[in-house]
Amino acid sequence: MTTNNDPIFNCIHQLETLLFHDDMLKKIESHPLINLRDQLQKIDDEWDIRTIDENQKRMSTLNYFEINSFSHFIKRYSSIIPSNLLEALFDAIRFQMYINMAIYPVLCDYYFDLSLTYLINDSTINYLINKKHILSNMDEYFLHLFASIGARSLYTRRGISYSIFVSHKNIPTFFQLNNSTERLLQAFITYINNYFLNNDQQSQVYTSIFKWILNMTDIYGFVPYFVQIGYPNAILQWISIERDHIKYISLESWSCIINILHNLARHPIGVKALNELKMIDSIKQWKEQYLSESSVIDYNEDDKDIRMAYYLLYAKLLEPKELKNESVSNIQTILDYILEQTMKAFDSVDLTCGPYNVCEYLEGLVKLVVNDALLTYIISRDNIYELFIEKFLLFNNICESTVLNTIICSSLYTIFWSISFLSEYSIKLKLNNEFLSFVEQRAKNQSNDEYELDMKRAAKGILFNLDCIQMDIQPIEDNHNHDDDDDNQIKVMISYSHKDAKFCKNLVTKIQEHYQGDIWVDFNKLSPPYEDDWEEIAKAITQCNVIVMIVTENYCGSKSCRREVVHADKRNKRMVPVYIGKDYIPEDWFEIRAGSATWVRFGGEKNDEEVMETLLGLITVRDEVPQNNNKLAYSHGSHLKLKSKSEIDSNTITNIQTIETSSLHVNTNPIIEISDIQLQSNLTVSDIIPTSPIEQWTCEEVQQWLHLPPSTLQLSSGRALLTYMKLLSHDDAQYDEYEHRMRDHCVSREQFSNLISSFTSILSLNDAQTISTKLPDQWTRNDIKYWFQQNHLSDYLLNALNFIDGSQLIIYGQLIIDSPLRIEEEYNRLRNKIGKDLFHLDEYSRFLSGLKKLVNQSRLKEESALCNIL
């Protein structure tokens, strides 16, 4: 059946002819209005005969006619209706529809269709495009009415079922991009351009259109439509106009525009489009004009809302490097406000507070917590950590009930993944059995749902950080005598960010041209998605000899990459960072974990061939000591006294291979260039330091060993060196020494990290003999004190426990480590005894780790002794 033969369509067409020729009241034999009534009655009586689609098409045509009829009558008699009454009439109709939707939410679909019918009408679009030539207040009234109805229907629908707004899979069908809707979206841009360029004062109408666009882009699946039409470019032009040229832009309009940008940034397509336009630079400039302290506009309480919209957008667009450099002081106020709104949203029935759902606040926090300083500030706020734990447990139980609950749960998993990197909170998480139970279950989930995969990835990351994943992984056994050319015995693992995949693949190809050993890289060993095989990645890290890390902004900004570095560091793996670009400096967390590692840099002063030669040399060098931690590879000392080759015990130099510097120029230690010396044999640290004990070193020997200018560090004797090293045994002391003195002497972070690493090595050689030959239960008080220093434990803890000998330490350890309840109780007891400001979870974690090793060592000795007796 065609519409031309449809009796209702024919009746409407006849009525339109009579209406626009002012013949509606003309007496005719068969009036089309009477015929229309009869046809509608027939449809009502025979409802089951026709399909829903057929009836919807008829009603849409009828709605269009009713709108036109109403418009025609109003325009005809508007000249005799006072303007205030006319405005009141339209407002009354609008508010009546608002109330109807609030009482009967099912009407939202009808009212949205009604508004869209008017908006896509040719006459409406022509008005939007040519407004400057067609000045009609009546058109503005109608435009404001129907844009407002459409916006309110979306807003009300959002309160009923927010899941359809955030779903990534199910795109609503009540609005689809076709020729008519595409023309409408383009016409809105043209109309709003007039607002900005001509300083049009009728802001009420523009605000209703902004709200319509805002609520439409609030639906995740609709964002690509607006990107395709060109809204990112249009908004860039709007916010780039100098403030002096815009007089009538209201705060409400600006709030809508920033929130529209925020909605676009929720979708990867939107983020890509906005970043290609460098939108973050433009919104910074906009903020300086409209939200700066000197702004003459008094935003009052609304200032917080628009600032929050700005910072949520800012976080979504910010690159990892910029976000990690953001200081707490810069955004402390807005952070506090976001956290306050998050708590209120969690407490509300519909999980909303202000203009946002709690999932939007959490999405902002997820992006912000990649900055360790911001994360620490957030979870140190009163009750925030407890709130996150409470909601994590709650939403794990109801995760699958709605899409919204799944998204909230996914965000909480990502936040706790970040928290699990902090040692102060890792023990808390590890002791929370209910938390761990949910995480372990999620890590085993086999669903391919987007959010389920995100949660599974985060769950595995949490378990790795908490050392809760048990795998049967055996480290490489190195029981063979290696020849210098036996490269095949070395296993290499490549760690990189998938955003740097192109560079990684090129690098692996280059390495394989010269190196025939085993290279483990995920795209050769695993099936996509690679990050889901964390057990395999962990196994590769554990079983490799050397890890080549492609360290970039992407790498340092990736939780997965950070987890790999932590996993490698805990297993004392040799790392070779590969930097790209002459100016790139890795982030602090990486320098802490791998700052003393030998690195290479592509794009620096050396050409790529030289850098590759250096990298190959670092891959093939053997400097790991699997069985004797006292035999350390060392490269300190062109000016130090060396034992002669005949004096070196051959039993102490196994498994160490030096770098031939004639063809390899490596910055093994930024304090000393290897190219300064030529090591002709395999040496240990004890072979390249003065032969006398450190306490007996002279000032000259100290300075030779330090290889630092006297103006940087002047120590008068070996005793002074020992005292200085022990003063720097704590992280806070190291930080203060670097920030307040070493930096002023042009010592880089890497140089200082290597200096601290050298201190650790030399202290180990100096003090290890005092306890290496004794069983822990035979230790003296001094031996216990040295053990505390080795594990970076404070004198406060040592004095609080006051062990007299090693047997007391071992008995204490046996009582504590086998009981999770005692672990928690002992932490609280020690913290109350020492002081909450002096004793924290990170130190307690180190203490427990050391105790566990001692107890296991003691038990092994006892078992061995028992076996010998039997």
Same domain, 551 and 460: no
| Structural domain count, the chain | 4
Same domain, 790 and 750: no
pLDDT at 481: 44
Distance of CA 278 to the CA centre of its chain: 20
pLDDT at 270: 93
Structure confidence at residue 107 as a pLDDT band (50, 70, 90): confident
Same domain, 359 and 403: yes
Q: Which residue reads 């595995």 in tokens?
A: 460
Q: Looking at residues 742-749, what average pLDDT do you find?
A: 70
Instruction: List, for residues 74-100, the tens digit of each pLDDT value.
Output: 767 667 767 777 778 788 888 888 888
Q: What is the amino acid identity at position 461? A: G
- The CA-atom distances, in angstroms, between 474 and each of 405, 427, 520 are 40, 26, 16
Query: Is the separation of the CB atoms in 194 and 142 below 8 Å?
Result: no
- DSSP letter for each residue of 765-806: HHHHHHHHTS-GGG--HHHHHHHHHHTT--HHHHHHH---SH
Indicate the SS3 state at residue 746.
coil
Structure confidence at residue 767 as a pLDDT band (50, 70, 90): low
Last residue of a domain, one of 620, 648, 671: 620
pLDDT at 764 over 60: no
The gap between the terminal CA atoms of the chain, to the nearest Å, is 99
Q: Give a yes or no: residue 174 inside a domain.
A: no
Instruction: List, for residues 434-491, the tens digit of each pLDDT value.
Output: 999 999 999 888 888 888 888 998 998 898 888 776 544 444 444 444 444 444 568 8
d(CA 176, CA 199): 32
Last residue of a domain, one of 589, 620, 651: 620
Same domain, 781 and 755: no
Query: Is the separation of the CB atoms in 370 and 323 below 8 Å?
Result: yes
Same domain, 706 and 729: yes
pTM of structure: 0.59
CA 399, 402, 405, 409 dihedral sign is positive
Q: Give a yes or no: residue 851 inside a domain.
A: yes
Of the listed ranges 124-133, 221-230, 396-405, 537-546, the least confidently predicted one is 124-133
Rounded (5°) CA angle 318-319-322: 85
pLDDT at 677: 28
Same domain, 748 and 793: no
pLDDT at 199: 61
pLDDT at 780: 82
No. of H helices and E strands in the chain?
A: 41, 7
Q: How large is the angle between the packed helices 137-160 and 83-103, nearest 10 degrees? A: 20
Residue 6 main-chain phi, psi, to 5 deg: -80, 125
Instruction: List, for residues 585-643, the tens digit of each pLDDT value.
Output: 887 778 777 766 778 899 888 888 888 988 888 888 764 434 333 333 333 333 333 33
Q: What is the amino acid identity at position 173? A: T
Q: Which residue has the higher pLDDT, 564 or 782?
A: 564
pLDDT at 632: 33
Q: Two tokens at 468?
A: 């809760």
d(CA 783, CA 679): 35
Q: Which residue has the higher pLDDT, 671 or 194?
A: 194
Same domain, 751 and 826: no
Q: Give a yes or no: residue 438 inside a domain.
A: yes
Instruction: List, for residues 690-727, the tens digit of each pLDDT value.
Output: 556 676 778 777 777 776 766 677 777 777 787 787 77
pLDDT at 623: 47
Query: Is the separation of the CB atoms in 625 and 632 below 8 Å?
Result: yes
Same domain, 812 and 858: yes
Q: Give a yes or no: residue 203 inside a domain.
A: no
Instruction: List, for residues 799-818, the tens digit of each pLDDT value.
Output: 888 888 888 888 888 888 87
Q: Looking at residues 248-263, what average pLDDT do you find?
A: 86
pLDDT at 105 over 60: yes
Question: DSSP alpha helices (H): ranges in 120-250?
Answer: 122-129, 137-160, 163-166, 179-197, 203-217, 223-229, 231-240
Q: Looking at residues 322-331, what average pLDDT do you find?
A: 67
* Domain span including residue 851: 776-868
Q: Two tokens at 315?
A: 């976080």
pLDDT at 188: 95
Q: Looking at residues 147-171, what average pLDDT do you find?
A: 87
Q: Give a yes or no: residue 650 inside a domain.
A: no
Same domain, 763 and 780: no
pLDDT at 120 over 70: yes
Structure confidence at residue 49 as a pLDDT band (50, 70, 90): confident
Of the listed ranges 21-30, 374-383, 536-545, 688-697, the least confidently predicted one is 21-30
Percent of the chain with pLDDT over 70: 74
Of the listed ranges 26-40, 155-169, 837-851, the least confidently predicted one is 26-40
Q: Give a yes or no: residue 477 inside a domain.
A: no
Q: Give a yes or no: residue 362 inside a domain.
A: yes
Same domain, 762 and 782: no
Instruction: List, for residues 642-669, the tens digit of each pLDDT value.
Output: 333 333 233 332 332 333 333 333 333 3
Same domain, 759 and 787: no
Last residue of a domain, one of 620, 649, 673: 620
Q: What is the mean pLDDT of the chain?
A: 77
| CATH code for the domain of 580 | 3.40.50.10140
Q: Which residue has the higher pLDDT, 272 or 845?
A: 272
Indicate the SS3 state at residue 828.
helix
90-124 burial, b if ≥16 CB within 10 A, otherwise e? beeebeebbeebeeeeebbebbbbbbbbbbbbeeb
pLDDT at 53: 72
Structure confidence at residue 409 as a pLDDT band (50, 70, 90): very high
pLDDT at 473: 45
pLDDT at 849: 84
Q: Give a yes or no: residue 698 inside a domain.
A: yes
pLDDT at 625: 37
pLDDT at 438: 93
- DSSP letter for each residue of 674-711: GGG----S---GGGSS-SS-GGG--HHHHHHHHT--TT
The helix (run of H) or strand (run of E) holding residue 861 is helix 841-869
Same domain, 498 and 458: no
pLDDT at 646: 32
pLDDT at 596: 65
Give long-range contacts, CB 8 A cutoff, 24+ apart: 30-39: 35/7, 35/11, 36/8, 36/11, 36/12, 39/7, 39/8, 39/11
